[in-house]
Amino acid sequence: MANTENLNLPVVAASQAQKHVTVNESLYALDAIVQLAVIDKDLTSPPGSPTAGDRYIVGASSTGAWAGQDGNIAAYQNGTWEFYTPKSGWVVYVEDEGIQYLYLSGAWSSLNLSPDGIQDLELLGVNTTADATNRLSVSSPATLFTGEGAGHQLKINKAADTDTASLLFQSNLTGHAEMGLAGSTDFTIKTSSDGTSWFTALQCASANGMVSFPAGVSGRIEVFNTGNS
């Protein structure tokens, strides 16, 4: 029996007997995979009391009636489980998660589209291309973060005191100035002529707020105490 190339639907032969059997098989396949939505994508064995028309993505290491069908679409039709192999580009809505998944390169990947927002994106490029290091990349004349409520904070967090959390200012992608917490919890401002050799112009100690100028000062500095004397 011949089948269609994309959806693998059985085709009625010219001299075929009981043509309705082939037609019905195609209709059931279309009912299962068109406007695709599944109840769950993580179950590894069939639910106890399925309802006709229920559809699932079979989870990894499947067992029982689903054994060997990992990643395929399981549809409960006519009292039995039928399985449909997805192709690259298929999109499914997973009801219990409320998000869509895309089938690509032999696996289902989250599209992160839900009524509650876009979550867990690996990369995002706005008018440019993001990469493994610059996972959020924006090419724009300006970037606006506006306040809601009492104000707005831009937070840069680091995992450990010896890591770096800073703002780096570049010219033609070469760093020339940096401010933030670079390798410690002290706030520093650094400069560089080539992006490789750096000088610490100012350092504010996190322990007591004392300010120092490790690279030195140029000219005269007047220091006043609380009484301006």
Decide if 5 is inside a domain.
no
Position 5 confidence tier, pLDDT thresholds 50, 70, 90: low
Return the pLDDT at 64.
Answer: 96
Decide if 210 is inside a domain.
yes
Domain total for the chain?
2
- Of 84, 110, 136, the domain-final residue: 110
Q: Where are the alpha helices (DSSP H) in 4-147?
A: 19-33
Decide if 115 is inside a domain.
no
**Number of CB atoms found within 10 A of residue 129's CB:** 9
Q: Are residues 176 and 101 located together in one domain of the fold?
A: no
Q: In this structure, are residues 55 and 39 in contact, taking their beta carbons and an 8 Å threshold?
A: yes
Decide if 133 is inside a domain.
no
Q: Are residues 165 and 96 located together in one domain of the fold?
A: no
Q: DSSP for 161-199, please give it.
A: TTSEEEEEEEETTEEEEEEEEESSSSEEEEE-SSSSS-E
Position 27 confidence tier, pLDDT thresholds 50, 70, 90: confident
Return the pLDDT at 145.
Answer: 94
User: What integer is the mean pLDDT of 108-126?
Assistant: 81
Q: Which two tokens stand for residue 178?
A: 């940096």
Return the pLDDT at 143.
Answer: 96
Q: Are residues 87 and 169 located together in one domain of the fold?
A: no
Position 111 confidence tier, pLDDT thresholds 50, 70, 90: confident
Buried-state track 188-215, b at ≥16 Cβ within 10 A, e below 16: bbbbeeeeeebebbbbeeeeeeeeeeee
Return the pLDDT at 115.
Answer: 64
pLDDT tens-digit map of 189-209: 999 999 999 999 999 999 999
Q: Are residues 99 and 24 located together in one domain of the fold?
A: yes
Q: Are residues 94 and 159 located together in one domain of the fold?
A: no
Decide if 148 is inside a domain.
no
Q: Are residues 106 and 166 located together in one domain of the fold?
A: no
Return the pLDDT at 63.
Answer: 97
Q: How far is CA 173 from the centre of its chain?
A: 26
- The mean of the pLDDT values for the chain is 89
Position 170 confidence tier, pLDDT thresholds 50, 70, 90: very high
Residue 185 domain boundaries? 155-219
Q: Give the C-alpha separation, 63 to 73, whole Å.
A: 15
Closest CA to 153 of 162, 145, 143, 161: 145
Q: Are residues 90 and 161 located together in one domain of the fold?
A: no
Q: Are residues 167 and 94 located together in one domain of the fold?
A: no
Q: Are residues 165 and 89 located together in one domain of the fold?
A: no
**Number of CB atoms found within 10 A of residue 100's CB:** 18
User: What integer is the mean pLDDT of 88-100?
Assistant: 93
Q: Is the pLDDT of residue 6 over 70?
A: no
Q: Which of 24-28, 64-68, 157-161 has the lowest mean pLDDT?
A: 24-28
Residues whose CB is less than 8 angstroms from the CB of residue 222 and which lie 6 or more positions away in sequence, other chains included: none
Q: Are residues 25 and 96 located together in one domain of the fold?
A: yes
Q: Are residues 101 and 162 located together in one domain of the fold?
A: no
